[in-house]
Each structure stands twice: as C-alpha cells, then as structure tokens.
Homo-oligomer: A and B are copies of this chain.
Amino acid sequence: MGLGEKLIEMKNISELMIDLAYSSLIYDNREIAEEVKYLEEKIDESYNQIIDESIRQAVEEKKPETAGIIIRLATSIEAISDSAAQIGDVVLRNIKPHPIIRESIKESDITIVLGVVKNSSILANRTLGELNLASETGMWVIAIKRGGKWIFGPTENTRILPEDRLIAKGPIEGVEHFKRLCVGIDKKL
C-alpha cells in the first residue's frame, strides 16, 4: 500500500471513529466505544508507519516536500481520532449522558439511526454494493451487529442478513424510509 493510500485509510477510519463514537453515546453502548478505542490503536500504528516511511522516501528521493504535507495531514488525522476516542471514553467511564444530548444528536440534520432487518426486507440477503443503499437513500451503514458480533465499517461486499441490526448515518429525512426498508414495509429503495 502506497503512502497516499495509507493516509486515506487513516482518514476513512478517523471519520468512522467519529460516527461510532457518537453512536456509542446515543445508544450508551460500551461495545461500540471499545471498538473506537481499538481503532485508535490501529491509527497510532499507521501514523508511526506513515511518518517513518515518508521520511525514508524523502531522503531516498531527495524530495522533502511530499513528506512535509503527509506528516502534517497524518498528524491532524491522528488528532481527530484521538478526539473520537475521548468521546467514546465518556461511555467507557460509565458517565451517563444527559438525555438532552442524546436527543439533540438524534435530531441533527445528519443523524444516526438503528434498524433491525426482517426476513421480508428487500435489504436481506443482498450486499451493500448490490443495493447502492447510500446513493439511493442517503443512509450509510457504519456498523452491523450480527448475532453477538459486530462488523464495523462494512464494505460494498458485505451482505446484509435477516436479523442484522444496522447502525446507519444519514440525513434526518431519510430515517423513516430506512426503518421501513429494514422491517419490510417499504419495498423499493
């Protein structure tokens, strides 16, 4: 994986961490908060690799410019993921958020919602890529709870199964349609 790709992977994970951190807060869910903490450790590893590799390349190619920007960006992204971990930490410390905070997040223009997939749902047994859920409905699945386990940051190849619990992020206008898709009332995206 090249430096550019590694940096973008860091960027994507840091954004997922922010969404998961707020999700852990809304649903007062320790497991999601633990995942944020785990991702923070992964980010730290990537950060250190990126710093070392970019300096190594700069020396080898005698080009200091690229290393400068990559290190600045990686440092900012690392700081964003630190902050997301701090938000998750509120949940891990068993501090109960005041209901007004939860409700306010739920009523944001961009919100986070939970849907349980029924057998009769058109989402069941199809991959996120086949469904194009995000571009068709605006709702972006950020995590799936299946049985006792979580899938965090599902990809286009992730298949949705009946009984999956989906956590999605998207515009508040899309929430009702998303819930109706999950339970099988709405039959079209």
Stretch at the interface among A41-49, A101-109, A115-123: A101-109
What distance in Å separates the Cβ of A140 from its nearest Cβ neighbour in chain B?
7
Cβ-based interface call for A40 (8 A): no
Stretch at the interface among A66-74, A144-152, A159-167: A66-74
Cβ-based interface call for A127 (8 A): no
Q: Are A134 and B174 in contact (CB under 8 A)?
A: yes
Count how many chain A residues have C-beta atoms less than 8 Å from C-beta atoms of the other chain: 59
Q: Are B87 and A76 in contact (CB under 8 A)?
A: yes
Instruction: Report how far A11 CA is from B15 CA in the complex, Å.
Output: 13
Chain A 133-178 residues near chain B, CB threshold 8 A: 134-140, 155-156, 170-171, 173-174, 177
Once A135-B171, A135-B173 are accepted as A-B contacts, the answer to whether A72 and B96 lie under 8 Å apart by CB is no
Q: Are A101 and B15 in contact (CB under 8 A)?
A: no
Chain A 77-118 residues near chain B, CB threshold 8 A: 77, 79-80, 82-84, 86-87, 89-90, 95-98, 100-101, 103-105, 107-110
Q: Are B138 and A134 in contact (CB under 8 A)?
A: yes
The DSSP consensus for interface residues of chain A is helix
Q: Which residue of B lies closest to A4 (CB)?
A: B100
Chain A 1-20 residues near chain B, CB threshold 8 A: 2-5, 7-8, 11-12, 15, 18
Known contacts A4-B100, A76-B86, then 20 further A-B pairs from the complex at CB < 8 Å, ordered by chain A residue: A4-B103, A4-B104, A7-B101, A12-B108, A65-B96, A69-B90, A69-B95, A69-B97, A70-B98, A70-B101, A72-B87, A73-B101, A76-B84, A80-B80, A109-B156, A134-B171, A134-B173, A135-B138, A135-B170, A135-B174
